[in-house]
Structure 1
């Protein structure tokens, strides 16, 4: 089966949007578990809204929702990338600095670098940002 050379390149902006939506959905769940108790996670049930974890939860909830929509993708993703770097070094790295698998920080590292990529690449063709730029 022969595919044209442009076929994968034509899909890239759409796949970028799909990765953004899935990543944002997974990220929003962290904030909604902390503040909306959906899903209910015992360890997150007592997070104070003004604690460090609570403030991170607001950024996860609001920033994740903006990413889900693809609205202000680049600046929001940049802030969330920094949040995840901070979360890794504050909450995970002190346990075993160079082994995210051992300190539970692999999702923080992945989110950090995925969001860093979105801060450069944008939200893809299926985003409010793309819709706004067409007008």
Structure 2
């Protein structure tokens, strides 16, 4: 279970530096551009927030759906910035982006500059796929949990 939650993926310094920049940039944009804004406007948004039309999510009320979105956008984005439980956090955020792009914005145009386009959600989804595949990298909290000493063979 530890391997699933705390595997940092690559340990290459250059690749880890790129993943660090991607995690911080992506997490920061999601946290401050979307999550904090939803918390500040919770009272206005809770009455009109969309509920996904897929089972079992369709049983949520509008405020519960908004709270789940906030948990994903604030909680998972914070974990991504830290590099803690990166793959599960990226999965949760990717799931939220799938719901946003293909349920909530299903009938919207794909590309910007059209209002309500699904392009940003799909772009965030690609960041999530990348982090699920690669892990957080060497410069993350996840890397501190790796206590397995790999056996080296000297030739």
One fold, TM greater than 0.5?
Answer: yes
Greater relative contact order (CA < 8 Å, ≥ 6 in sequence): 2
Match of 1:74 among 81, 84, 87: 87
Richer in helix (by share): 1
CA distance in 1, matches of 2:68, 2:132: 21
- 1:10–1:66 distance in 2 versus 1, CA, 3 Å: closer
1:46 maps to 2:44? yes
RMSD (CA atoms): 2.1
Q: Does the alignment pair 1:18 with 2:31?
A: no
**TM-score, normalised by the number of residues in structure 1:** 0.77
Which structure has the bigger radius of gyration? 2
Distance in 1 separating the partners of 2:146 and 2:22: 20
Query: What number of residue pairs does the alignment pair up?
Result: 119
2:130 is the alignment partner of 1:126: no
Superposition TM-score, scaled by structure 2 size: 0.68
Confirm whether residue 58 of structure 1 aligns to residue 74 of structure 2. Answer: no
